[in-house]
Chains A and B, each alone.
Chain A
Amino acid sequence: MEPALKTPTDAIDLSATMADEVIRVLLIDDDPAYRHLCQRYLSKPDGPAIELECAANASEGILQCQTQHFDCLLIDYTLPETSGTQMYMTLAGMLNQFAPPAIILTADGGQAAATEAVRAGASDFIPKHSVSAKLLSTAILKVVETNKLKRSVEKRSVALQSVNEKLRAKNDQIQRFYQGVSHEVKTPLAAAREFIAIVVDGIAGEVNEQQAEVLTHALDSCDQIAAHFNDLIEMTRLDSEKVTMNRKVGSLNGAVLRSVASVTSAVEAKCITLRQEIESPLPLVLIDTNRIIQVLANLLGNAVKYTQPGGEITLTVKSDIDSSSLRISVTDTGCGIAEENLPQVFERLFQVENGGDGMMGAGLGLGLSIAKEIVSLHDGKIWAESTLGEGSTFAFELPIAKSIFDLAETKV
């Protein structure tokens, strides 16, 4: 068979307008009597405007499709050289998305042929001998309409895809920009930090207690700057969906221990009482331990930051009544957050403008919004409750790994 010739690329644009006017249909059937019957059915004056062309065999049909535009094909299942479905697959292989939709005319009750028709990509099938004028024209109209819709959806999805690609490229660009800025800032910061540390450590000469204390604050500030830039990078990474959670079934004990350790010195420095109410034994959860430490250490860190010296922080870990999730909460006796501000605390760079006691908020930065992302990547939720002047509770819930099926979901 010689396919060659041209692909009717321009036909696709015509289809929309032509379908509104005259629908061009090609019937491929070797039986002249059946062709005549269809001709008669489709030329009813009260029916839709359908123009029927005919081909007596597969090669003639394919040739016609290559040279002319059709809105719909009617293909007899049983053709002389090949089957109707085979012919349609060949045609679809040649014209790709430009192949017109097809209706396969099957023998009566031929379920196998019908299945084959659908598999071959035909839009519909009609038992050949139950064809009537109405049935045939309705089927054609339906297929043409569906195809038109399909084309417009395809067009739109191609457009969306290109927008999506552009956004992704933009996002990568933004991420690279942040990476660059972060690098540019951290290089001199590292030098500054080390120079300060050298003085604090007495390498550059003797320092008195007061100087050492002041410089230790400067070191803290350097570390804060670095941490903020790390958060910024982390946030853009979470935005670009490049972060994957490496979740494994395990206990939360290790994460609790390490998170608490991260605030121990700050807790002691502020003479804060840190109470731990941890259920024992803890149920298993499906977690990326390092990420959960990040979340919990952030909540504990905030609690320490906003609790006045001598205050109290309570870390509670317990499962809910129906044992479906594990709740981790951090309650402090800090300045609290006004009710109207609560919904925004997980937003980026939200700051407690003014604590109940007039203390300026040190800024929650990006930490809580990163925590929120991480918890949601664990299929959990995070929230805050607070009474202004009395303290806040930040809590998150993680689903408990109940069955072996959860193990299969380690990929996120």
Chain B
Amino acid sequence: MKTILLIEDDRKITMAIGMRLRSMGYEVATAADAVTAIAQARKANPDVIILDINLPGGDGFIVAERLQSLMQTSATPIIFITASKQENLKIRARELGAVAFLEKPFDATALADAIESALVTGPLDAVVG
């Protein structure tokens, strides 16, 4: 079973997306802040990481850089999610090699597509749309 690490500080979003992911047949690990995220990444050894950009204790980009420097998650595909409309975020996400960038609210199809393409293409040659 594939494992997804969901890093998101909003408890309800974590609950909702978590339910969705489990219904899709994924194992779900969660973290609500930057520090826990790193610990969970080490422990859960995820196949895909879903990462919120606005996080307490360091934004999602910093967390992404940390994750990419960890041995377990150095090549794990990252899907960024955000409720923010700032234009530069998408560019940063692309620079960090994210496989997808989803604006909240997003529907389950978009999430499923992003995860599937993450599992297929991996992080290196994928491009954020």
A binds B: yes
> Is B124 interfacial (CB 8 A cutoff)?
no
For residues 214 through 237 of chain A, which have their beta carbon under 8 Å from a beta carbon of chain B? 222-223, 226, 229-230, 233
Contact A182 B108 (CB under 8 A): no
A199-213 toward B: CB 8 Å interface, digit per residue (1/0)?
001011000000000
Contact B54 A190 (CB under 8 A): no
Contact B16 A198 (CB under 8 A): yes
The CA of A188 and the CA of B105, in the complex, are separated in Å by 9
Please name all residues of chain A whose beta carbon is closer than 8 Å to the beta carbon of B19 when the two chains form the complex: 198, 203-204
The CA of A186 and the CA of B10, in the complex, are separated in Å by 11
The CA of A376 and the CA of B106, in the complex, are separated in Å by 31
Contact A190 B83 (CB under 8 A): yes
Please name all residues of chain B whose beta carbon is closer than 8 Å to the beta carbon of A226 when the two chains form the complex: 105
Q: Which residue of B lies closest to A185 (CB)?
A: B83
Contact B105 A233 (CB under 8 A): no
Contact B15 A191 (CB under 8 A): yes
Size bracket, chain B contacts: 10 to 19
CB-contact partner of A188 in B12, B20, B23, B86, under 8 A: B12
> Is B2 interfacial (CB 8 A cutoff)?
no
Please name all residues of chain A whose beta carbon is closer than 8 Å to the beta carbon of B84 when the two chains form the complex: 179, 182-183
Please name all residues of chain B whose beta carbon is closer than 8 Å to the beta carbon of A186 when the two chains form the complex: 83, 104-105
Contact B105 A193 (CB under 8 A): yes
> Is B13 interfacial (CB 8 A cutoff)?
yes
CB-contact partner of A233 in B16, B85, B106, B108, under 8 A: B85
CB-contact partner of A191 in B12, B85, B107, B108, under 8 A: B12
* Chain A proximity of B13: nearest CB distance (Å): 5
Contact B85 A187 (CB under 8 A): no
Contact B104 A187 (CB under 8 A): yes
> Is B17 interfacial (CB 8 A cutoff)?
yes
> Is A56 interfacial (CB 8 A cutoff)?
no
For residues 145 through 191 of chain A, which have their beta carbon under 8 Å from a beta carbon of chain B? 179, 182-183, 186-191
* Chain B proximity of A185: nearest CB distance (Å): 8
The CA of A190 and the CA of B83, in the complex, are separated in Å by 8
Q: Which residue of A lies closest to B54 (CB)?
A: A183
The CA of A371 and the CA of B53, in the complex, are separated in Å by 30
Q: How many residues of A contact B (CB 8 A)?
A: 23
The CA of A201 and the CA of B23, in the complex, are separated in Å by 10
Please name all residues of chain B whose beta carbon is closer than 8 Å to the beta carbon of A201 when the two chains form the complex: 23, 108
The CA of A230 and the CA of B104, in the complex, are separated in Å by 11
* Chain B proximity of A358: nearest CB distance (Å): 33
Q: Which residue of B lies closest to A189 (CB)?
A: B105
Contact A190 B105 (CB under 8 A): yes
The CA of A188 and the CA of B11, in the complex, are separated in Å by 10
* Chain B proximity of A133: nearest CB distance (Å): 67
With A188-B12, A194-B13, A195-B16 known as contacts, the answer to whether A230 contacts B85 (CB < 8 A) is yes
For residues 13 through 36 of chain B, which have their beta carbon under 8 Å from a beta carbon of chain A? 13, 15-17, 19-20, 23
Q: Which residue of B lies closest to A203 (CB)?
A: B23
Contact B104 A190 (CB under 8 A): yes
* Chain B proximity of A306: nearest CB distance (Å): 26
Contact A197 B104 (CB under 8 A): no
* Chain A proximity of B108: nearest CB distance (Å): 6
The CA of A183 and the CA of B54, in the complex, are separated in Å by 10
Contact A179 B20 (CB under 8 A): no
User: Most A CB atoms within 10 A — which of B19, B54, B84, B105?
Assistant: B105
Contact A197 B108 (CB under 8 A): yes
B99-124 toward A: CB 8 Å interface, digit per residue (1/0)?
00000111110000000000000000
Q: Which residue of A lies closest to B107 (CB)?
A: A197
* Chain A proximity of B123: nearest CB distance (Å): 24
A contact set with B: CB distance below 8 Å: 179, 182-183, 186-191, 193-195, 197-198, 201, 203-204, 222-223, 226, 229-230, 233
- Nearest first, the 10 A-B pairs at minimum CB distance are A194-B16, A190-B104, A191-B12, A190-B105, A186-B83, A193-B105, A203-B23, A233-B85, A191-B13, A187-B83
Known contacts A179-B85, A193-B105; 17 further A-B pairs (Cβ under 8 A): A179-B84, A182-B85, A183-B54, A183-B83, A183-B85, A186-B105, A187-B13, A187-B83, A189-B104, A190-B105, A191-B12, A191-B16, A197-B20, A198-B16, A201-B23, A201-B108, A229-B85
Q: Enumerate 12 A-B pairs (CB-CB under 8 Å) in ascending A order.
A: A183-B83, A183-B84, A187-B83, A188-B10, A190-B104, A191-B13, A191-B16, A194-B17, A194-B20, A197-B107, A198-B16, A198-B23
